[in-house]
Structures are given as structure tokens and as C-alpha cells.
Amino acid sequence: MRALDVLVLAGYFAALAYIGWSSRVREDNARDMLVGDRQIPWWAVLLSVLGTEISALTFVGVPAFAYTGNWTYLQVTLGAIGGRYLVGRYFLPAFYRHNVVSIYEFLLRRYGPRTRNMAVLVFLFTRILMSGVRLGAGAVILHLALGISSTHAVWVLAAVGLVFCAAGGIRAVVWTEVMQVSVMLLGALCAVLVLAGGLHSWEVPAGSMQVLDFRLEPGLEFTFWACLLGTTLTNTAIFGTDYDMVQRMLTAKNSQQSRWAVFGSGLAEVPICLLFLSIGTLLRLYYLQHPDPNLPSAAKEVFGYFIVHQLPAGLCGLLVAAVVSVVLSTYESALAALAGSFVVDFYKPTLKPHAPPGHYLVVTRLATVGFALLLLVVAIQSQHIDQILKFGLEVGTYFYGALLAVFAIALIQPEERQAGPDLWTAVVAMPLSIVLVLWVKTHTSLAFPWFVSLGAVSAASLILLGRLFGQKSTNWSQYCEIEPL
């Protein structure tokens, strides 16, 4: 990186630091740290949702997908829109009606403590894996730009994100994500302009832009049917049962504004996906017309190589800042969600139920540091994964089906009745559905977009089976008037 690139990158970090400092929480207010006291405008929530979702997998993996001549990934936007409509229509109103800080408090009231605890464990494990992989993907470009090892790049990103999250909580995370998404989109658009300006011809090789795939083959990940049906339920699970995603939606003033944010983010998926797929195709055309013997063989490194070696001074720094933006956005939101769920769902009810508010703020910050270390370990271990986009999308589908089933039954069941037997749901239905999905993954060729559907149907069937055979169910809602943080 040249001097101007370093200056641009330093200016970006200075702006982030200012936003994080100005958004810091009061020293005695843990609720403000976790839900921003529900005073964030809907448009900022929308950008924050995009900032969390558009991870380094998007910046690195989607162009790599199109670089190999395949645009079928665009079909996932069908499921993105459908799934988020269901979340806004059914999930968010229930969360606001119950005035929860953590969405797993909703399960506590509808099932009981065992189901809530199992759901939290599933979320923590899943989010650590998913966000750790995304952190590792972002280090690919940073290590190329700064000339440092991938491991050192992971450490740099993890340390910077930890400072912002621990100091400012969800309010700082949301407002820094607004800036991060803006920088990301600006950087991607600049990359498109530079790539387009360097082309001598716009003739695309035959068969390099397949968009729709109507084959009825369950082993293919990005067919029209897998994206329309399987990805819809996957998006419903991600945006309705994953605290990392739902947390920023709960910072909006009311459920209506939260619905605007989540559905708007689904619509915004279409142009953003088109933007990054276009980058991949333009990269392929560029290097066909400008052969480079040093071009990396791994498709996931081609965009980073182009940024470092072909962009003019200043723009290179902007693109590196854009990559850092999406990495930090995903990483910071994961830390806030992991720490928040741990404190609200585990620490407070089991260890210190009546401590002063300032105590929970300190514990939340300590938990943030602990989860940062776990994400760091996963990120370092994921450095050697070639198909990092596929793996990053797939890993969460092993577990989301169980979460979707328990939330869906709780929403469908009238609130004056218990949603399901607590012990049976926690120790039989949810674990067995996850085991089934993992067995199918290792013994069949079923594509991962169908895993959430499989897990949800199996978990829901087991929960209803437990009720049918008379498993004892207690109405926990009368015992679960949770004291606010």
C-alpha cells in the first residue's frame, strides 16, 4: 500500500473511532448496551442488518463464484425476500409484545428454562462458527494489502472490532455499521468502474453467466427450487431465531419500524448481489484481456490481488477500508449478540439475578473479550478452506432448523397455552433433529439449502410427538416476569 492508501485507511479508522466514542453507553446501563434503549431509526437498523449480513464472505466469496462463470447465486435473493417477510409479519411483533432484550426470553415464557438454555447453547455454538469463518475470510484481503500473514491479519481485525464493541455496545455497533456499509458500497462501485475502464471488449465467454437453474436435483445448492423454498426457511431461521441478526432489529422504536428495516434489507439484497457478481465477471474478463502470470490460482484471492496491484493510490486504500468495514461489521455484531445472550440468558438468571445494573455492564464487557478469543481461534483455523463461501453459508444450516421449529410452534400456539413440553423439547427434539441433519450431511448428497427445512420438520414433529404422548407441560409464563436490565 502506498502513502495515500495508508492515509485513507487511517482516516477511515479515525472516523470509526469517533462514531464509537460518541455512541458509547452510560456506565451504569446494560440495557442501553444491548438494545440501544430502542431509539435507533429504522433506516439505520436496515443498514446495520445489511452490514451484519454482507460479511467478508460476500466481498470475497461472491465475486469468486461469478469469476468461475456461475451466477446462480443470484437466486438466493428470492429466499431472502420471502424469509424476511415472514420474520417481519410474525416474529418481530411477538418479540416487541413480550418486550424481550434477548429473543430467548420468549422461549423461556412459552416453553420453560430448559428449552431456553438449549436454544442459547445452539445459538452460541452456531454463531461462533459462522462469525469466526467470516473473520477468517476478511483476513484474506488484509494480508495481501498489508503484506502480513493471514494470522496476523486476523489478530488486527479482531483487536480493532473488540475495542469498538466492548466500549459502545449495540448502539456503537449499529452506527459504525451504517458507515461501514456506506464505505463498502462505495468501494465496490469504484472497483466496478476501474474494472470496466480497463476492458478492451465486453464480450463475455459463452456459458459464463448462468443465472437460473430449474433442475430438480436435491444435491445442487443453488437451484431455483432450493433458493425459493429452502433458502426462504433458512432466512426465516437466521433473521427470526439468531440473536445476532434479531438484536439490531430490536433496537428500532417499535415493531412496525423493525419490519420496515428487515423487509427493506431483503429487497436491498438484489442490487447488492448483482454488484458483487458483476465484479466477479469483470475480473474474469479483465484477466483474460490482461494475463498476469502471478495471478493467484485460488478464485477467492483474485479480487484481493486486483485491489492491491491494479487500483490507483487512494482507491486501493478505500477498497481495503471497504473490506475491513464488512469484516468489522459482522464481527462486532457477533460479539455484541454473543455477550448479550450470555449475560441475559445465562449469567443473570442463574448466577446474579439481583445485581446492580452496573455489574451486568462489566460482565457483558468481560464476556465480549471471552467470545472474541473464541472467534479468533475459529478464524485462524478457517484460513485453509478453499470454498469458503459455501462453507460459511452451510455451517449454520446444521443447527437453524431446530431453532426455527421451537420458535414457530411458540408463535402458532395460543399464548394462554404452553407451546410444548420443556424437558422433551430441550433434551430430545432439538438435539435429535440436529443429529439427523448432520447424519444426512455425511451420508447423502442433499444440498445444504434443504438442511434447515429438514431440521425444522423433524424437530417440530418430535415436539408434537412429545405432547401427543402426554409429556408434562407447565405454563411457565406466570413464573417468567423477568426483571429488566
Domains of the chain: residue spans and CATH? 3-395 (1.20.1730.10)
Residue 366, Cβ density class (10 Å: 0-12 exposed, 13-18 middle, ≥19 buried)? middle
Residue 396, Cβ density class (10 Å: 0-12 exposed, 13-18 middle, ≥19 buried)? buried
pTM: 0.82
What angle do the packed helices 302-310 and 255-289 form, to 10 degrees? 70
Q: Contact, 462 vs 433, CB < 8 A?
A: yes
What angle do the packed helices 150-197 and 113-146 form, to 10 degrees? 70
pLDDT digits (tens, 9 = 90+) for 417-475: 778 888 899 999 999 999 999 999 999 999 999 999 999 999 999 999 988 876 555 55
Three-state secondary structure of 381-439: HHHHCCCHHHHHHHCCHHHHHHHHHHHHHHHHCCCCCCCCCHHHHHHHHHHHHHHHHHH
Which residues in 434-445 are b (16+ Cβ under 10 Å) and which e? Answer: bebbeebbeeee
Instruction: Point out which residues pair with 210 in neighbouring strands.
Output: 70
275 three-class SS: helix
pLDDT at res. 44: 84
Terminal C-alpha separation, the chain = 46
- Rounded Cα gap, residues 125 and 119, in angstroms: 10
**Residue-level length of the chain:** 485
Residue 39, Cβ density class (10 Å: 0-12 exposed, 13-18 middle, ≥19 buried)? exposed
Residue 265, Cβ density class (10 Å: 0-12 exposed, 13-18 middle, ≥19 buried)? buried
Cα angle 102, 106, 108; round to 5: 100
Question: In the chain, which residues have pLDDT < 50?
Answer: 27-28, 30, 33, 36, 476-485
- Rounded Cα gap, residues 409 and 5, in angstroms: 52
pLDDT at res. 436: 97
DSSP designation for 293 = T
40 three-class SS: strand
At 252, give phi and psi (nearest 5°).
Answer: -70, 160
Radius of gyration in angstroms for the set of CA atoms belonging to the chain, rounded to a whole number? 22
Question: Hey, what's the cell of 74?
Answer: 443470484
pLDDT digits (tens, 9 = 90+) for 260-316: 999 999 999 999 999 999 999 999 999 989 998 888 887 878 888 888 888 888 888
- Rounded Cα gap, residues 229 and 188, in angstroms: 30
89 three-class SS: helix
Find where cell 468502474 sits. 193
Please choose, from the candidates 434, 419, 433, 409, the residue with its C-alpha nearest in 3D space to the C-alpha of residue 471.
419
